[in-house]
Amino acid sequence: MYERMPRELTLPTGELLRPFGPADLDQLVDVVNDNLEHLRPWMPWAQQPVTAETQSEFLTASARNWAEGTDFVYGIFAADGTILGGTGLHTRQGPGVLEIGYWVRRDVQGRGLVTAATRVLAEVAASYDEVDTVAIYCDEANVRSAAVPRRLGFTLVGVEEREPLAAGETGWHQVWTMPAAVIRAGWPA
């Protein structure tokens, strides 16, 4: 269903979204470990230092998910190939919904990079007739994350309880959504 998912997307400011590949392994290990204190509160996979082995498993799983059309993780890269963060479209909320997730390095926050990447991925999601909703889930304590869907005009439609998986989580997850039809018709002002 998601066979034609684009493997390369360019943000208006020149950064590139593309799947992480084997050549990114060493850089990925370093960027996650250099940002561990920043990521640990919110990212379940960043609870302890990562290794070449754990990240290699991540790359393998991620390539398999791309091939099977079940999950689409993108790295966010500067024009020179430096990893700035990660994002993705996830099918885990079930038919009709694509969920967007994201993280960036601490030192590139505050530039609008994640807002721009989310906007581009939401447009990709809405390009599928089968998708009726684009969703973003974030713990209610993660104020900076919630600001991304709010800034883009998503609606907070509920709060769901979930077992905390990362150090800063309360377990209460905000659900932000945007109807795909609204994106197809042009974004809200």
Q: How far is the CB of 22 from ligand COA (least distance, A)?
A: 24
Told to check if 121 binds ligand COA by CB under 6 A, we report no
Choice from 91, 133, 145, 177 touching ligand COA (CB under 6 A) = 145
Based on the shown chain and the rule CB under 6 A, indicate whether residue 84 belongs to the binding site for ligand COA: no
| Closest alpha carbon to 18 in 70, 74, 72, 61 | 74
The DSSP bridge pattern shows strands 16-18 and 9-10 to be: antiparallel
Q: How far is CA 154 from the centre of its chain?
A: 15
Is the Cβ–Cβ distance between 71 and 90 less than 8 Å? yes
Sign, CA torsion 144/9/136/103: negative
Least distance (Å) between residue 178 CB and ligand COA:
16
Residue among 21, 44, 49, 110 that touches ligand COA (CB under 6 A): 110
The stretch near ligand COA (CB under 6 A) out of 49-57, 66-74, 110-118, 175-183 is: 110-118
- Which of 83, 89, 100, 104 lies at the binding interface for ligand COA (CB under 6 A)? 104
Q: Which stretch binds ligand COA (CB under 6 A): 19-27, 76-84, 139-147, 179-187?
A: 139-147
Q: Are the C-beta atoms of residues 97 and 132 closer than 8 Å to each other?
A: yes
- How many residues belong to the chain? 189
56, two tokens = 């290699």
* 73 sits near ligand COA (criterion: CB under 6 A): no
Closer Cβ to ligand COA, 15 or 23, answer by number: 15
* Candidate list 2, 42, 72, 77; residue touching ligand COA; CB under 6 A: 42
Q: Nearest Cα to 103, choosing from 73, 79, 125, 129? A: 73
Supply angle C-alpha 61, 100, 91, rounded to 5.
55
Interface contacts to ligand COA, rule CB under 6 A: 38-39, 42-43, 102-104, 109-115, 138, 142, 144-145, 148, 151
